[in-house]
C-alpha cells in the first residue's frame, strides 16, 4: 500500500479518536439515534423512524431521492423473501431472464448488506424478510455506498431492535403440480424502560421441492440459414433445498450517548439436485445418449459483527463496526454419461473454506448551519481456499492437472469516502462526495498465478430543487462516475467443461465446436467505468400519491460481456471454444421511466380502499465493438412494464393484492460471436389477506400465473459455421398459505 493511502486511513482514524477524547466525557440528554440515515442537512445525521415518519417522508427528505421500504411496509406486504418484496417496487425492473435491477440494467445494480458487499456464495435476495429492517434504493450514486453500482444501489439493512417488545410468528405451506414447500419464521424483540440491555432474535427455516423440465433442439447454420438438425435433448431437474438461518442483536446502552451491539448470525443451506438428460443425435450415436447427474451443495456460514455507536454533544456521530464472517462451501457431483460404445463416470468434489472480514468506520458531523459531512473508511479482506478432486472412471482427470488440486484467492480492499450534504437555499439542496478505493486480488490455481489490481476515484453529486419551500414537488439531478469490478469467479481459469464435448479419460481435451463451448474466467478482465446522469421529476398529486418521471443515461467504457472465443487453454491439447467474460468496448445506454404510487382516498373522499402502483421503463443501448442489429448490453429489454395494486373490502376483513411484470420478446447481441433470444415474459401473482384480529392474519398466495413456458434461443457464429439452439423451459402455478401471528 502506498504511503499516501496509508496517510488517508491514519488521518480519518485520528480524527475519530480526537473527537472521542474531546467529547467522550460530556453528557448528552438526547436519546440514542436510530440507524436510519438521511442526506438532509437540516435534520440530524440520523433520524428515528417511528409511525409518524412514512417511507415517502424519508424519500422526500433525501437529496438523492433515496427510496425506503421500511419495516411497516415489509410486514404489510406478506412476502417471505427480499426477492419477492423487491419485485413489487415500482422502481425495480425485472429482466427477461428474471433478474432484478434498476433502470432495466440488472447486471449494473449493486446489492449491499448493511453498506458492504455480501459474501460470495450467498444470494442476498433469498434472505427471509424476518431478518430485514428496511431496504434503501438509490438510482443515482452516493459516496457512502462506494464507487460501484453504475445502475444504482439496493442496500439491505439488517433487523434492528425497536423500543417496543413484541414477538411475531409466520408459518407457511406452498404447493403446485410439481413444486412444494414449507417455511417458518419467528422473531422477538425485548426492550425494558430503564434497562441498558435489550435484544432481538430472528429465526427462519424452510424446505422446498421443485421439479422442472426442459427441451432443446440444436441446428447447424450454414450461409446464415438453418441447415440441418444435429441434436434433440430432453431434461428433467429435481431440486430439493433446505435452509435454516438465525440472527440476534444484543445491545448495551452504556450511557445515553454510547451504544455497543453484538449481532451474531448463522446460515445452513443444503441443495440437492438430481437431473437426467436424454439426447438424440443426427447422425446417430455421435454423442452421449443419456446422462444422469447428482449434485449436493451444502453451505454454512457464521458471522459475529460488533458495532459501537457514539453521539457527541454537538450531535456528531461515530459508528464503528467489525464484521468477521466464516463460511464453507462444498459441491459434490457424480455424473454418468452413456455413449453408444461405453459408459463414462465422472466425479467432482469441491471443498472451499472462505472468510470475509470488514472494518468499517463512519463519522457524521454538522459544519455550520447548512452542511452535514460524512466521512468514513472500510478495510476489507476476503480469502478462499478450495480443494478439488476430479475423477474420470475412478482415475484423476488429466485435463485439469495444470490447474492443480487447489485454488487460493486473497482479495484486499481499502475504501475511503467523504460526502457533504447542504441546504443551499430554502428550495435547493445538494449532495456531493468522492470515494477512493484500491483493491488487489491474488489468485493461485495450481502452478498458475494471476493478479488483478485497480485504484479508482469516484466523484458523485446530486441536486434537489423545489418550486417553493412548502412544496412537495421536486426535481432531482444526479451525476456520477462509477465502476463495476469483476467478481472472483470471473477471474479464475478453472473451467466448466461442456459435458456434450467431454475430454477423454487418459489425455487432455481435444477440440470442440462453438455450440458446445466450455465456460471459464478471464484473469485479464478490467473494471467497467461508467459516467452516469439521472434527471427526475417527482410530483405529489395529493397525500402519498406520487408520479415520478425520470431520464437516465450511461456511458460505460471497458463494458464487460460474455464472448465466445477460440483459445489455447490449459486443459486441452487443441484450441477450444470457450464462453468467458471480456471487456468489449464502450457501451451507451439511454432510457426513461414513469412510476406511479397512488391511494384512491388521496384523490377523492369516500373512494374505495384502493392502492395502485406501476411503472413503465424504456431503454436503448449499444456496444461500440458489436455489430447490429439487436446490439444491447446484457439482460436489457427494450421496455419493461409492471402494474400492481391492493383493494381492501369494506364488508369483510379481506385485502387482495395483484402484481404483474412483463417484458417483450426479442434478441440481444452482446458480442461478435453470440446472440440470445428470450420469449415474452409475464410474471403474475395474487394474494389475499384475511385479518381475524390485529394480531392474527391468514394469507393465500398464487404465483407463476403468467407465462408457463419460457422459450429462449442462442445463436453462435464461428469459423466452423455456427449453430442455433432452441430451449423451452416450463413452470407451473403454485399456491401458498401463510399464517401470521403477533404476540
Q: How many CA atoms lie within 13 A of 597 on its CB side?
A: 15
Q: Measured between alpha carbons, how far is 588 from 146 in angstroms, rounded to an integer? A: 22
Secondary structure (DSSP) of 640-661: EEEEEEEEE-SSSSEEEEEEEE
Q: What is the mean pLDDT of residues 68-90?
A: 91
Give the pLDDT band (50/70/90) at residue 287. Answer: confident
The answer to whether residue 35 scores a pLDDT higher than 70 is no
CA 365 to each of CA 46, 141, 416: distance values in angstroms, whole numbers, following the listed order: 10, 21, 17
Instruction: Parse the chain into domains and list their residue ranges.
Output: 3-742
From 114-123, 163-172, 541-550, the region with the lowest mean pLDDT? 114-123
The answer to whether residue 9 scores a pLDDT higher than 60 is no
Q: What is the mean pLDDT of residues 268-276?
A: 96
Element (H, E) at 86: helix 82-87
Give residue 720's pLDDT.
Answer: 67
CA 669 to each of CA 224, 295, 418, 714, 728: distance values in angstroms, whole numbers, following the listed order: 15, 32, 39, 10, 20
Give the residue from 710, 676, 727, 674 showing the smallest Cα distance to 217: 727
Cell numbers representing residue 41 in the block: 442537512
Contact yes or no for 80/172 (Cβ under 8 A): yes
Higher pLDDT, 517 or 28: 517
E runs forming strands in 256-342: 258-262, 265-281, 290-303, 306-311, 317-338
6, with CB counted inside 10 A (0-12, 13-18, 19+), is: exposed
Question: Hey, how many other C-beta atoms are within 10 angstroms of the C-beta on 340?
Answer: 11
The answer to whether residue 382 scores a pLDDT higher than 50 is yes
Q: What pLDDT digit, counting tens, does each position of 694-703 carry?
A: 899 999 999 9
Give the pLDDT band (50/70/90) at residue 653. Answer: very high
Give the residue from 33, 589, 12 showing the smallest Cα distance to 310: 33
From first CA to last CA, the distance across the chain in angstroms is 53
Locus of grid cell 406478506: 78
Give the residue from 351, 344, 350 showing the smallest Cα distance to 394: 344
Give residue 231's pLDDT.
Answer: 92
Element (H, E) at 22: helix 3-23
Q: Measured between alpha carbons, how far is 319 from 618 in angstroms, rounded to an integer? A: 40
The strand pairing partners of 278, in sequence order, are: 234, 290
Dihedrals φ, ψ of 5, to 5°?
-70, -40
Give residue 173's pLDDT.
Answer: 93
Q: Measured between alpha carbons, how far is 157 from 70 in angstroms, rounded to an integer? A: 10
Contact yes or no for 621/632 (Cβ under 8 A): yes
Give the pLDDT band (50/70/90) at residue 27. Answer: very low
Give the residue from 339, 271, 385, 299 showing the smallest Cα distance to 118: 299
Cell numbers representing residue 578 in the block: 470457450
Contact yes or no for 141/458 (Cβ under 8 A): yes
Contact yes or no for 81/129 (Cβ under 8 A): yes
Give residue 664's pLDDT.
Answer: 94
Contact yes or no for 588/577 (Cβ under 8 A): no
Give the residue from 493, 496, 177, 461 showing the smallest Cα distance to 331: 496
Q: Measured between alpha carbons, how far is 311 from 23 in angstroms, rounded to an integer? A: 9
Give residue 53's pLDDT.
Answer: 54
The strand pairing partners of 239, in sequence order, are: 210, 273
Q: Is 573 helix (H, G, I), strand (E, B) or coil?
A: coil
**Cis-peptide, bond into residue 629, ω within 30° of zero:** yes
CA 40 to each of CA 44, 63, 134, 142: distance values in angstroms, whole numbers, following the listed order: 8, 6, 19, 13
Dihedrals φ, ψ of 710, to 5°?
-115, 105
Question: Hey, how many other C-beta atoms are within 10 angstroms of the C-beta on 460?
Answer: 25
Dihedrals φ, ψ of 402, to 5°?
-65, -25
Report which DSSP code applies to 77: H
Q: What pLDDT digit, counting tens, does each position of 590-635 carry?
A: 999 999 999 998 888 888 889 999 999 999 999 999 888 889 898 8
The strand pairing partners of 292, in sequence order, are: 276, 336
Q: Measured between alpha carbons, how far is 238 from 211 in angstroms, rounded to an integer? A: 5
The answer to whether residue 539 scores a pLDDT higher than 70 is yes
Higher pLDDT, 508 or 65: 65
E runs forming strands in 526-607: 528-542, 545-557, 560-567, 576-583, 587-599
SS (H, E, C) 497-536: CCCCCCCCCCCCECCCCHHHCEECCCCCCCCEEEEEEEEE
Average pLDDT score, the chain: 88
Give residue 39's pLDDT.
Answer: 53
**Maximum CA extent, the chain:** 85
Q: Measured between alpha carbons, how far is 286 from 500 in angstroms, rounded to an integer? A: 10
Contact yes or no for 540/490 (Cβ under 8 A): no
Q: What pLDDT digit, counting tens, does each position of 577-590 carry?
A: 999 999 999 999 99
- In degrees, to the nearest 5, what angle opens at C-alpha 78 toward C-alphas 696 and 130? 90
Give the residue from 408, 401, 402 showing the smallest Cα distance to 387: 408
The answer to whether residue 648 scores a pLDDT higher than 80 is yes
Cell numbers representing residue 575 in the block: 484450441
CA 241 to each of CA 6, 183, 236, 375, 578: distance values in angstroms, whole numbers, following the listed order: 45, 12, 17, 42, 31
Rg of the chain (C-alpha set): 27
Instruction: Give 3-742's CATH code, choosing from 3.40.640.10, 2.60.120.10, 2.40.170.20, 1.10.1270.20.
Output: 2.40.170.20
Q: What is the mean pLDDT of residues 433-450?
A: 94
Secondary structure (DSSP) of 170-208: EEEEEEESS-EEEEEEEEEEEE-TT-SEEEEEEEEEEEE
Give the residue from 523, 524, 514, 531 showing the smallest Cα distance to 479: 531
Q: What pLDDT digit, counting tens, does each position of 331-359 carry?
A: 999 999 998 888 989 999 999 999 999 99
Give residue 369's pLDDT.
Answer: 83
Give the residue from 641, 549, 635 showing the smallest Cα distance to 589: 635
Cell numbers representing residue 532 in the block: 452516469
The answer to whether residue 441 scores a pLDDT higher than 60 is yes
Higher pLDDT, 453 or 225: 453
Contact yes or no for 421/461 (Cβ under 8 A): no
The strand pairing partners of 205, in sequence order, are: 184, 244
Amino acid at each position: 500500500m502506498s504511503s499516501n493511502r496509508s496517510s488517508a486511513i491514519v488521518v480519518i482514524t485520528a480524527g475519530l479518536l480526537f473527537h472521542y477524547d474531546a467529547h467522550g466525557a460530556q453528557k448528552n440528554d438526547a436519546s440514542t439515534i436510530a440507524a436510519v440515515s438521511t442526506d438532509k442537512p437540516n435534520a440530524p445525521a440520523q433520524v428515528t423512524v417511528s409511525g409518524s415518519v412514512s417511507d415517502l417522508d424519508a424519500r422526500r427528505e433525501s437529496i438523492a431521492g433515496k427510496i425506503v421500504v421500511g419495516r411497516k411496509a415489509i410486514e404489510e406486504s406478506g412476502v417471505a423473501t427480499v426477492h419477492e418484496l423487491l419485485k413489487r417496487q415500482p422502481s425495480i425492473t425485472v429482466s427477461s431472464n428474471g433478474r432484478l435491477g434498476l433502470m432495466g440494467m440488472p447486471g449494473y445494480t449493486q446489492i449491499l448488506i448493511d453498506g458492504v458487499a455480501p459474501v460470495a456464495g450467498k444470494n442476498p435476495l433469498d434472505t427471509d424478510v424476518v431478518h430485514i429492517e428496511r431496504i434503501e434504493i438509490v438510482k443515482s450514486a452516493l459516496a457512502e455506498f462506494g464507487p460501484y453500482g453504475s445502475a444504482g444501489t439496493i442496500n439491505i439493512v439488517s433487523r434492528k431492535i425497536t423500543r417496543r417488545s413484541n414477538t411475531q410468528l409466520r408459518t407457511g405451506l406452498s404447493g403446485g403440480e410439481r413444486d412444494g414447500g414449507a417455511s417458518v419464521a419467528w422473531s422477538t424483540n425485548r426492550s425494558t424502560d430503564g434497562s441498558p440491555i435489550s435484544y432481538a432474535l430472528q429465526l427462519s427455516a424452510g424446505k422446498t421441492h421443485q421439479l422442472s423440465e426442459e427441451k432443446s433442439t440444436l441446428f447447424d447454420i450454414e450461409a446464415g440459414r438453418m441447415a440441418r438438425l444435429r441434436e434433440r435433448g430432453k431434461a428433467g431437474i429435481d431440486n430439493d433445498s433446505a435452509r435454516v438461518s438465525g440472527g440476534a442483536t444484543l445491545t448495551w446502552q452504556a450511557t445515553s450517548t454510547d451504544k455497543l451491539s453484538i449481532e451474531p448470525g448463522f446460515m445452513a443451506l443444503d441443495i440437492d439436485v438430481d437431473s437426467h438428460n436424454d439426447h438424440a443425435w443426427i447422425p446417430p450415436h455421435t454423442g452421449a445418449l443419456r446422462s444422469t447427474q447428482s449434485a449436493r451443495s451444502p453451505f454454512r456460514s457464521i458471522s459475529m459483527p460488533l458495532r459501537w455507536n457514539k453521539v457527541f454533544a454537538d450531535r456528531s456521530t461515530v459508528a464503528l463496526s467489525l464484521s468477521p464472517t466464516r463460511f464453507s462451501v462444498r459441491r459434490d457431483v457424480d455424473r454418468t454419461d452413456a455413449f453408444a460404445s461405453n459408459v463414462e463416470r465422472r466425479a467432482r468434489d469441491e471443498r472451499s473454506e472462505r472468510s470475509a472480514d470488514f472494518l468499517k468506520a463512519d463519522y457524521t458531523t454538522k459544519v455550520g448551519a447548512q452542511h452535514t459531512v460524512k466521512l468514513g473508511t472500510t478495510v476489507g479482506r476476503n480469502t478462499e481456499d478450495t480443494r478439488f478432486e476430479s475423477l474420470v472412471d475412478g482415475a484423476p482427470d488429466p485435463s485439469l492437472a495444470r490447474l492443480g488440486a487447489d485454488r487460493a484467492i486473497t482479495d484486499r480492499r481499502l475504501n475511503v469516502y467523504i460526502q457533504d450534504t447542504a441546504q443551499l437555499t430554502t428550495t435547493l439542496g445538494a449532495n456531493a462526495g468522492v470515494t477512493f478505493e484500491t483493491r488487489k486480488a491474488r489468485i493461485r490455481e495450481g502452478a498458475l498465478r494471476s493478479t488483478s489490481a485497480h485504484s479508482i476515484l469516484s466523484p458523485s453529486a446530486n441536486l434537489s430543487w423545489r418550486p417553493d419551500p412548502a412544496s412537495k414537488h421536486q426535481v432531482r439531478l444526479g451525476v456520477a462516475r462509477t465502476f463495476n469490478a469483476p467478481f472472483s469467479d470471473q477471474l479464475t481459469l478453472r473451467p466448466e467443461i461442456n459435458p456434450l464435448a467431454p475430454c477423454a479419460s487418459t489425455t487432455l481435451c481435444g477440440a470442440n465446436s462453438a455450440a458446445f463451448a466450455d465456460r471459464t474466467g478471464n484473469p485479464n478482465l478490467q473494471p467497467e467505468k461508467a459516467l452516469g446522469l439521472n434527471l427526475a421529476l417527482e410530483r405529489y398529486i395529493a397525500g402519498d400519491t406520487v408520479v415520478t418521471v425520470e431520464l437516465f443515461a450511461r456511458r460505460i467504457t471497458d463494458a464487460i460481456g460474455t464472448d465466445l472465443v477460440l483459445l489455447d487453454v490449459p486443459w486441452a491439447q487443441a484450441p477450444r471454444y470457450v464462453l468467458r467474460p471480456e471487456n468489449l468496448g464502450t457501451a451507451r445506454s439511454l432510457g426513461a421511466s414513469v412510476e406511479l404510487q397512488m391511494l384512491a382516498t388521496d384523490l377523492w373522499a369516500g373512494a374505495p380502499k384502493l392502492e395502485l402502483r406501476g411503472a413503465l421503463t424504456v431503454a436503448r443501448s449499444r456496444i461500440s465493438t458489436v455489430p447490429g442489429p439487436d446490439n444491447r448490453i446484457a439482460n436489457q429489454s427494450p421496455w419493461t412494464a409492471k402494474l400492481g395494486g391492493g383493494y381492501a373490502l369494506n364488508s369483510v376483513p379481506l385485502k387482495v393484492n395483484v402484481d404483474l411484470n412483463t417484458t417483450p420478446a426479442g434478441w440481444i447481441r452482446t458480442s461478435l460471436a453470440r446472440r440470445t433470444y428470450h420469449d415474452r415474459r409475464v410474471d403474475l401473482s395474487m394474494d389475499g389477506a384475511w385479518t381475524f384480529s390485529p394480531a392474527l392474519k391468514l394469507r393465500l398466495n398464487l404465483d407463476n400465473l403468467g407465462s408457463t413456458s419460457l422459450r429462449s434461443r442462442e445463436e453462435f457464429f464461428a469459423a466452423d459455421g455456427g449453430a442455433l439452439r432452441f430451449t423451452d423451459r416450463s413452470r407451473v402455478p403454485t399456491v401458498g398459505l401463510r399464517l401470521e401471528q403477533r404476540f
